């Protein structure tokens, strides 16, 4: 693990922040959790599951007789949406605010648990009236508005399976995900507000379904958010607002088996084809709610919680749509971008709603750092008492800034490591218990077992960088890759026998705290979003200009990594296009069209050849060095000799992949 060794020397952190006595005294998580989990791990998880309401209590905890296909609480039955909504109303908390919605233009709404329950019941009735049944797949392509959560909850309520596709993905990406899941229905909106204007979503759905593609789709349910003009296909498209107005608000949630599929979420892997990660109901909700409560120290009666993730990502599933609702939390949902109308927007929201728990990504923190402390300092952030970080390693500088400027110098920071596949947080300090160390995700949560292994699977001790593996099944683990059980086994369970291979490098430091060292495969992490080098390469070579492409994630001060593409062009095609063609822009636009703006390369470098090993493997390590050596800029130089000189210089100097 050469990569790990490089970072190895940099990781040494002496700062510790012990919990204050006051915080510990009121903390939800108690140190006994660790002991309970150690004494009897399965019973510990069963106890966490019992915080949920089971229509039929489970008697089995884990069935691991056919690894890696796990079943948790398999003979139990529950309704996920009932657990997130009705039961809070029945317990007398119907008037508690479930969602404080802040639209980007400044419109706002407060939705109580009673109101949200009614909305979800109506939406469930709309879905039923459209012929959606338990097990059917429903694609959701929505902006960050409460109706997105209503849609997810309504799908869950009737035992159907949602596949949320991030609004930043293109029509092409949408189409392939709808096809793969064979979705019967698409729930979308005319558009949403982003960066000060109404941006459209419905046209991408129309394009995704055009030309006879996605024949599985019978209907498109369209929520009117912006009231912009949209195309309308009679007989296929249904007005969500009208349908809701007419729907009955009576719906009794039926219980489903614990292993009823809940959702599919596509994520990038090492090949060109995204994987549909499958999660089921009882185990997923158990771990989402257990982690949400303990990791964020949630006091549902008094806290105002805000996770800034979009519902298009796993964080928006577990820590917006499910965990907080299962726990009866009051949460903020914000539609727009952090810089609209200015960089004070988030902090004005914290001030307005008295946010006490904030969960966001290091990229955002670094962007705020760059803008300067004077922006957040203009707002009253004194309500903040817990801060969370997710999606990528948080560097100690950003950690310190986050604590000092946003957390008033005292809020504990929980650096949470997990993945789309793990479904919920796996490694994190517990506030009130753990003495915090900037930059480290620290220790596995009670109930989670991890090891760091070398390439041969031997367990590594402290101060050795290796591969992160999860050695025991956990309730919210992925149950498979949609339609591809072989790929599931191959990707996660074949590197080490019977052990889950996460794809991350890691090491324990001398205190036994865990440091994440980034991906060890060809998956990039840009702004905490997962992108596959292979997927972007295949988008690039699908353009007529490109003969060959290699994509790497180069270090980037703000976004963690940035997409840099090296391309060999087809001269004859270029000549046809004319000498003034802006190749870089054309190719970057092409990737945006094929995958979405998040995959748009920061830099395209045109080269005459790509450095390869004798076996023909592209030497990515070397390309990454080249990309990181070069000044940042979106410049392209045809047959860039400078780049080629660097490449050949490095090859001559014996660099290897």
Question: Does residue 267 belong to the site contacting ligand PRX (CB under 6 A)?
Answer: yes
Q: Which stretch binds ligand PRX (CB under 6 A): 176-184, 389-397, 457-465, 540-548?
A: 389-397
Rg (alpha carbons) of the chain, rounded to whole number: 24
The whole-angstrom separation of Cα 155 and Cα 228 is 26
The whole-angstrom separation of Cα 473 and Cα 11 is 30
Q: Which stretch binds ligand PRX (CB under 6 A): 82-90, 207-215, 292-300, 385-393?
A: 385-393
Please say which residue, 327 or 476, places its beta carbon nearer to ligand PRX: 476
Residues 529-568 that bind ligand PRX (CB under 6 A): 530
Of positions 416, 442, 559, 561, contacts ligand PRX by CB under 6 A: 416
The whole-angstrom separation of Cα 402 and Cα 584 is 36
What's the CA dihedral at 266, 268, 274, 280 to 10 degrees?
-30
Residues 420-449 that bind ligand PRX (CB under 6 A): 420, 441
Please say which residue, 23 or 418, places its beta carbon nearer to ligand PRX: 418
Q: Which of 554, 526, 573 is nearest to 632 (CA)?
A: 554
List C-alpha distances in Å: 639 to 37, 73, 631: 59, 59, 17
Please say which residue, 267 or 289, places its beta carbon nearer to ligand PRX: 267
Question: Does residue 157 belong to the site contacting ligand PRX (CB under 6 A)?
Answer: no
CA torsion sign for 604, 610, 615, 619 is negative
Can you give 311-370 as a three-state secondary structure string? Answer: CCCHHHHHHHHHHHHHCCCEEEEECCCCCCCCCCHHHHHHHHHCCCEEEECHHHHHHHHH
Please say which residue, 557 or 634, places its beta carbon nearer to ligand PRX: 557
CA torsion sign for 334, 183, 220, 205 is positive
The whole-angstrom separation of Cα 218 and Cα 220 is 7
The whole-angstrom separation of Cα 476 and Cα 280 is 8
Question: Does residue 527 belong to the site contacting ligand PRX (CB under 6 A)?
Answer: no
CB of residue 427 vs ligand PRX: minimum separation in angstroms? 7
CB of residue 304 vs ligand PRX: minimum separation in angstroms? 22
Of positions 287, 419, 532, 584, contacts ligand PRX by CB under 6 A: 419
Q: Which stretch binds ligand PRX (CB under 6 A): 26-34, 242-250, 415-423, 539-547?
A: 415-423
Question: Does residue 390 belong to the site contacting ligand PRX (CB under 6 A)?
Answer: yes
Of positions 504, 522, 556, 640, contacts ligand PRX by CB under 6 A: 504
CB of residue 517 vs ligand PRX: minimum separation in angstroms? 8
CB of residue 140 vs ligand PRX: minimum separation in angstroms? 18
Q: Which stretch binds ligand PRX (CB under 6 A): 228-236, 238-246, 297-305, 497-505?
A: 497-505
Question: Does residue 516 belong to the site contacting ligand PRX (CB under 6 A)?
Answer: yes
Backbone angles phi, psi at 83, to 5 degrees: -65, -30
CB of residue 431 vs ligand PRX: minimum separation in angstroms? 15
Please say which residue, 356 or 419, places its beta carbon nearer to ligand PRX: 419
Closest residue to ligand PRX in the complex (CB): 420
The whole-angstrom separation of Cα 252 and Cα 157 is 9
Q: Report the helix count and the strand count for the chain, using DSSP H and E.
A: 23, 30
Total site size for ligand PRX, rule CB under 6 A:
21
Q: Which stretch binds ligand PRX (CB under 6 A): 208-216, 387-395, 481-489, 545-553?
A: 387-395
DSSP per-residue letters across 471-538 = -S--TT---EETT-HHHHHHHHHTTTTTSEEEEEEEEE-TTS-EEEEEESSSEEEETTEEEEHHHHHH
Please say which residue, 259 or 392, places its beta carbon nearer to ligand PRX: 392
Please say which residue, 192 or 362, places its beta carbon nearer to ligand PRX: 362
CB 29 within 8 A of CB 49: no
Pairing type for strands 197-200 and 77-78 reads: unpaired
Question: Does residue 392 belong to the site contacting ligand PRX (CB under 6 A)?
Answer: yes
Q: Which of 313, 344, 316, 343 is nearest to 332 (CA)?
A: 316
The whole-angstrom separation of Cα 315 and Cα 333 is 13
Pairing type for strands 413-416 and 161-164 reads: unpaired
Distance of CA 279 to the CA centre of its chain: 14
The whole-angstrom separation of Cα 248 and Cα 140 is 22
Of positions 393, 429, 553, 601, contacts ligand PRX by CB under 6 A: 393
CB of residue 521 vs ligand PRX: minimum separation in angstroms? 9
Q: Using CB under 6 A as the criterion, what x/- string covers residues 289-318 for binding ligand PRX?
A: -------------------------xx---
Please say which residue, 414 or 643, places its beta carbon nearer to ligand PRX: 414
CB of residue 262 vs ligand PRX: minimum separation in angstroms? 17
Question: Does residue 364 belong to the site contacting ligand PRX (CB under 6 A)?
Answer: no
Please say which residue, 526 or 627, places its beta carbon nearer to ligand PRX: 526
Of positions 391, 429, 431, 601, contacts ligand PRX by CB under 6 A: 391
CB 517 within 8 A of CB 504: yes
Tokens of 175: 């189409």
Tokens of 295: 């990791």
Of positions 438, 503, 596, 611, contacts ligand PRX by CB under 6 A: 503
Q: For binding to ligand PRX (CB under 6 A), which residues are involved?
A: 267, 314-315, 390-393, 415-420, 441, 502-504, 516, 519, 525, 530
């Amino acid at each position: 693990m050469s990569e790990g060794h490089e970072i190895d020397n940099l990781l040494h952190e002496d700062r510790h922040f012990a919990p204050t006595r006051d915080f510990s005294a009121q903390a939800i998580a108690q140190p006994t959790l660790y002991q309970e989990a150690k004494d009897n791990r399965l019973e510990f998880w069963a106890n966490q599951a019992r915080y949920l309401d089971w229509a039929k209590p489970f008697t089995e905890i884990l069935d691991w007789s056919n690894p890696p296909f796990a079943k948790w609480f398999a003979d139990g039955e529950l309704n996920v949406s009932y657990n997130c909504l009705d039961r809070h109303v029945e317990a007398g908390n119907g008037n508690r605010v479930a969602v404080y919605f802040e639209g980007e233009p400044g419109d706002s709404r407060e939705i109580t648990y009673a109101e949200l329950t009614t909305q979800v019941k109506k939406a469930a009735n709309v879905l039923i009236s459209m012929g959606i049944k338990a097990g059917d797949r429903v694609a959701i392509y929505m902006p960050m508005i409460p109706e997105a959560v209503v849609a997810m909850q309504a799908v869950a309520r009737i035992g159907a399976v949602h596949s949320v596709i991030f609004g930043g993905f293109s029509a092409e990406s949408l189409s392939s995900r709808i096809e793969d899941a064979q979705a019967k229905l698409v729930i979308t909106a005319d558009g949403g507000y982003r960066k000060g204007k109404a941006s459209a979503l419905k046209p991408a759905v129309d394009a995704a379904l055009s030309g006879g593609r996605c024949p599985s789709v019978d209907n498109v349910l369209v929520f009117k958010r912006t009231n912009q003009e949209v195309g309308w296909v009679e007989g296929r498209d249904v007005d969500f607002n009208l349908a809701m107005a007419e729907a009955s608000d009576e719906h009794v949630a039926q219980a489903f088996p614990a292993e009823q599929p809940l959702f599919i979420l596509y994520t990038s892997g090492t090949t060109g084809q995204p994987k549909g990660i499958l999660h089921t109901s009882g185990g997923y909700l158990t771990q989402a709610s257990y982690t949400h409560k303990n990791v964020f120290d949630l006091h549902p009666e008094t806290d105002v919680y805000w996770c800034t993730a979009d519902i298009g990502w796993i964080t928006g599933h577990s820590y917006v749509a499910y965990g907080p609702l299962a726990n009866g939390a009051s949460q903020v949902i914000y539609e727009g971008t952090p810089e609209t109308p200015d960089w004070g927007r988030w902090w004005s929201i914290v001030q307005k709603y008295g946010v006490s728990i904030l969960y966001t990504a290091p990229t955002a923190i670094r962007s705020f750092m760059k803008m300067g402390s004077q922006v957040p300092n203009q707002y009253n952030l004194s309500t903040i008492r817990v801060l969370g970080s997710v999606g990528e390693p948080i560097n100690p500088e950003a950690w310190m800034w986050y604590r000092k400027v946003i957390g008033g110098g005292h809020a504990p920071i929980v650096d949470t490591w997990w993945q789309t596949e793990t479904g919920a947080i796996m490694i994190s300090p517990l506030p009130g218990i753990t003495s915090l160390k900037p930059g480290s995700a620290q220790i596995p949560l009670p109930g989670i077992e991890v090891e760091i292994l070398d390439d041969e699977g031997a367990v590594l001790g402290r101060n050795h960088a290796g591969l992160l593996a999860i050695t025991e099944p956990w309730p919210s683990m992925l149950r498979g890759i949609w339609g591809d059980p072989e790929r599931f086994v191959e990707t996660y369970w074949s590197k080490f026998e019977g052990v889950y291979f996460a794809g991350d490098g890691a090491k324990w430091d001398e205190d036994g705290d865990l440091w994440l060292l980034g991906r060890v495969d060809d998956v990039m992490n840009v702004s905490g979003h997962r992108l596959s080098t292979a997927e972007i390469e295949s988008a690039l070579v699908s353009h007529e200009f490109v003969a060959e492409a290699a994509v790497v994630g180069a270090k980037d001060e703000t976004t963690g990594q940035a997409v840099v593409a090296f391309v060999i062009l087809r001269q004859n095609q270029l000549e046809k296009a004319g000498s003034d063609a802006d190749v870089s822009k054309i190719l970057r636009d092409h990737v945006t069209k094929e995958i979405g703006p998040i995959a748009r390369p920061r830099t395209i470098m045109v080269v005459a050849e790509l450095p390869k090993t004798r076996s023909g493997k592209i030497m990515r390590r070397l390309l990454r060095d080249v990309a990181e050596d070069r000044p940042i800029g979106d410049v392209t130089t045809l047959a860039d000799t400078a780049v080629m000189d660097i490449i050949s210089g490095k090859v001559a100097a014996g660099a290897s992949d």
